[in-house]
Structure 1
Amino acid sequence: MKRYVLFDNDGVLVDTEGWYYQAGERALAEVGLTLDKDRYLRDMGRGIGIWAQARATGIDEQTIERQRKVRDEYYQEYLRTEAIEIEGVIEALTELAEHVRMAIVTTAKRADFELIHEHRQITDLMEFVLVREDYERAKPHPEPYLTALRYFRAAEADALVVEDSSRGLRSAVAAGIDCAVVYNEFTAGQDFAQATYRIGSLAELHAIVLAGQETTAEADRLRPQGHPV
């Protein structure tokens, strides 16, 4: 049985991945650059942001810094106005909280995270949250998840990471922690070959954390049919 569950935030607890992309796309369009979505998703998996595409076309650093702030403003606008709920999240977390200790480990900046969760109950079920300002090296480096283990004083084998991106999966694997990748349409085409489990929703975590020692057949059963993850 797993005793600790470490959740990514964006794309796992709230549906924000697409809005973050659209904010960046909008900011770069203002300086004449069309953001290549396929490259964005590949770069995302390696922990590289949209500004690599901007630099590759010769956009200067001053312009990039200005548009970075513009992107952040657009993203926060979307967070305030768009529907970002994922159905069943609160119910799944409430059920899990009876059996495990939980935390959020996210690359989101504190300002964005606080805006997302200002009127939501998700963080009430968590023991702590680690945002981008709480560690030095971001995913796919293992530091974020290793930091969470230290906070819990937990062993790798007792924990489970829940992610939706290959960047987060690589971070969990590098930290030596089992990872369940939950289906997210935006990141569905990324490489999840190293995932311990692939699930369709957080509701499936209950069986994983309680069993802890699934056979191969049971693990395969937990992989939902028809999800290209």
Structure 2
Amino acid sequence: MGAAAATTTLVDAAVPPAQLDLLSIRGVLFDVDGTLVESDPLHFRAFQEILLELGFNDGQPIDEAFFRRRISGRHNPAIAADLFPDWEEARRVAFYTEKEERYRRLAAAGLEPLEGLREFLEWVRQRGLRTAAVTNAPRVNAEMMLAALGIEAMFEHLVLGEECTRAKPYPDPYLVAMDLLGLTPGEVVVFEDSPSGVTAGAAAGAPVVGLMTGQEPEELRKAGEEEGVGERRTTHD
């Protein structure tokens, strides 16, 4: 099943949408940043600060529209290559490593779950649905966020884009999660908040619920129809 066969539903909060065939759902796959936890404002601040210090954008601070369009939900190496195409790889790695350290310092002051998250996770648990968290965040960030919210035990697996052949927006992280759970695309639903993540879930052939927690609805809808990364790979390729 390719990207065109998957469905993308937009909702304001993490509730089971009426459009989904809940009788066929056996597993729920969650993004982390912006889907489980209100972390995007902290990522925005960390990127804004470090880019300003580097003189990016002619020394003008990036705004939230730039963050949503060029940064949110994307894998760090892709972000760095996009923003600094002339830099050597080592310099790019140093850039996003420093950014993530800044984010963790900001997050140490406290993270909040997305509104309604705990109730929805309890709904998932009561129905015996399988679960995995699937993220482009570095492992140290992902584990910190889940632990800070006290929900790490709610997920059977944590799948990281950086540990897959390809990160989101490619389908690999979601295909790995399905393989670990022993489920097919028709047996899971993906919850995402970024165009990159929505594209990845749709490219994996799964129905996607796009949470409108930061992105414009049209951007998420377009991402669900994206076929540019729709080449599916099994985890054994």
Give me the TM-score of the superposition, normalised by structure 1: 0.75
Find out whether 1:192 has 2:220 as its counterpart: yes
SS at match of 1:129: strand
Partner of 2:69: 42
CA deviation digits over 1:28-49, x for unaligned, max 9? 1111124354344223479441
Supply the distance in 2 between the matched residues of 1:84 and 1:45 (Cα, whole angstroms). Answer: 18
Question: For 1:1-229, what aligned pairs fall within 5 Å after superposition?
Answer: 1=23, 2-33=25-56, 34-35=61-62, 37-44=64-71, 47=74, 48-55=78-85, 63-99=91-127, 100-184=129-213, 186-188=214-216, 191-193=219-221
> Shift of residue 164 of structure 1?
0.6
**Is there any run of 5+ residues in structure 2 with no aligned partner, and where?**
1-22, 225-237
For residue 81 of structure 1, give the secondary structure of its aligned residue in structure 2.
Answer: coil
**Cα distance 1:125–1:82, how it changes in 2: closer, same or farther (>3 A)?**
closer
User: Unpaired segments of 5 or more residues in structure 1?
Assistant: 197-229
Q: Do 1:110 and 1:132's aligned partners in 2 also have CA atoms closer than 8 Å?
A: no
| Separation in structure 2 between the aligned mates of residue 119 and residue 195 of structure 1, nearest angstrom | 30
Cα 1:81/1:45, change in 2 over 3 Å:
closer
Contact 1:4/1:158 (<8 A) preserved: yes
Give 1:147 shift. Answer: 0.6
Native 8 Å contact 1:24 1:50 kept in 2: no
Query: Which whole-Å CA distance do the structure 1 matches of 2:204 and 2:150 have between them?
Result: 28
Query: How far has the Cα of 1:69 moved from its partner?
Result: 2.6
| Larger RCO (CA under 8 A, 6+ residues apart) | 2
Distance 1:134 1:62 in 2: 19
Greater Cα shift, 32-41 or 106-115: 32-41
Question: How many residues matched?
Answer: 193
